[in-house]
Amino acid sequence: MDSWCSLHVVLMYGLVAIELLNGTAGFSIPRQHLNADKAVKAVQNHYNLNSNNWVGTAVFTPYLGKIETCTCEGLMYAAMLKTYEEIFADMMKKSTEVQNELKDLKNNVTQLMRNYTKEQKVLHQLEEIRHKDVKNFTIQGGAVNDFRSVFDLASKGGQN
C-alpha cells in the first residue's frame, strides 16, 4: 500500500512538473493543435466539407511519406542543374557558332543530374504543389480536409 501511494505522489509531481515546464524550451505541449482542430472543424462545418462529396479529394496528403529524404543543398543543385539544362537548350536554338560547346555543356549537366534523381522527384512534387489552383473551391476544400495531417507532420518535422 505504501508503494502504491508513493507511485501516485510521483505521478502527481510529474504532472505538476509538466504543467510548470509547459512553454519552456523542449517541453512545450502544443496548444496550437487544439486551436487548429477548432478552426478546421469550423471551416469544415461552414463549407460542408465533411460530406461524402469530399471523399477522395485529398490535395496534399498524397505527397506525404512518398519521398526519400534529401538535403536542401541537393534540392538547390537539382534545381540549378535543371535550369542550366533549359538555358543551354535555349541558347543552342539561338546560336550556331557555339552549338557544339553548348551541347557538351548540356550533356555534362544531364549526366550530373543523374546524381540527383531523388531531388528531381522532390522538385517535381514541389512544382505540382506550388501550382495548385488555390482559388478552386475543390482544391480549397480538399486542402482544408488535409490540413490536420499536414500540420501535424510538419510540426514534428520542422524541429531541428
Give the C-alpha separation, 89 to 78, whole Å.
Answer: 17
Categorize the per-residue pLDDT at 33 as very low, low, confident or very high, splitting at 50, 70 and 90: low
pLDDT of residue 110: 94
The mean of the pLDDT values for the chain is 79
- Which residue bears the cell 501550382? 131
Q: First CA to last CA across the chain, in angstroms? A: 44
In this predicted structure, the answer to whether residue 7 has a pLDDT above a threshold of 80 is no
Give the C-alpha separation, 112 to 77, whole Å.
Answer: 10
Q: Give 47-68 pLDDT, tens digit per residue.
A: 888 888 877 778 888 888 777 7
The total of other beta-carbon atoms located within 10 Å of residue 81's CB is 20
Q: Give 91-117 pLDDT, tens digit per residue.
A: 999 988 999 999 999 999 999 999 999
Q: Give 82-94 pLDDT, tens digit per residue.
A: 999 999 999 999 9
Categorize the per-residue pLDDT at 17 as very low, low, confident or very high, splitting at 50, 70 and 90: very low
pLDDT of residue 158: 56
**Burial class of residue 122 (count of CB atoms within 10 Å of its CB; 0-12, 13-18, 19+):** buried
Which has more pLDDT, 32 or 68? 68
pTM, two decimals, is 0.61
The total of other beta-carbon atoms located within 10 Å of residue 144's CB is 18
Categorize the per-residue pLDDT at 34 as very low, low, confident or very high, splitting at 50, 70 and 90: low
pLDDT of residue 30: 54
